[in-house]
Amino acid sequence: MTNVALTVNGVRHEADVEPRLLLVYYLRETLGLKGTNVGCDTSSCGACTILVDGQSVKSCTLLTAQADGSDVTTIEGLAADGELHPVQQAFHEQHALQCGYCTPGFVMATVSLLQENPSPSEEEIRHGLEGNLCRCTGYHNIVRAVEAAARAGA
């Protein structure tokens, strides 16, 4: 076992974990934060995307031990005081989801993208979301939502 201490959505957690425990399972099964989905489990689909120290990463390809000392944000940590985060609001308004399974990952990837590039072109949005798959192929509305979120200053 290895001891880790990390902050998840503003709350500090400390635990003894198996070294092989992937962060996504720590979040989902230990902390009960099931908004982060496991899709492909091979770092391809991006459904498990979260922020670690502000940057998008795939939590199925990160050991919990590697995240020791980090500041983690999951989809549950985005809304503040009952108000949707501007990216969540934009996904809602632009209907940027069909089945919704990929949505938490796309939202987190978008938050990271807009921090790096606050007003991306359509091409930059598509390039910037290459790490996420929507098997309903709902990409057009996702791109519209990212544009709307950028306009809203997300």
| Beta carbon nearer to another protein, 33 or 57 | 57
Cβ at position 98, least distance to another protein in Å: 20
**CB closer to another protein, 71 vs 93:** 71
DSSP-derived pairing of the beta strands 2-8 and 11-17 = antiparallel
**Cβ of residue 83: shortest distance to another protein, in angstroms?**
27
Identity of the residue, 93 or 117, whose beta carbon is nearer to another protein in the bound complex: 117
Which residues of the shown chain bind another protein in the complex (CB under 8 A)? 2, 18-20, 22, 41-44, 46, 49, 55-58, 61-63, 65-66, 68-69, 109, 112-113, 128-131
Give, rounded to a whole angstrom, the gap between the first and last alpha carbons of the chain: 39
**Distance (Å, whole) CA 148 – CA 134:** 19
Give the residue with the Cβ less far from another protein, 120 or 138. Answer: 120
Contact 77, 108 (CB under 8 A): no
Q: How far is the CB of 63 from another protein (least distance, A)?
A: 7
Contact 88, 154 (CB under 8 A): no
Question: Residue 117: exposed, middle, or buried by beta-carbon count in 10 A (0-12, 13-18, 19+)?
Answer: middle
- Minimum distance, C-beta of residue 32 to another protein, in the bound complex (Å): 19
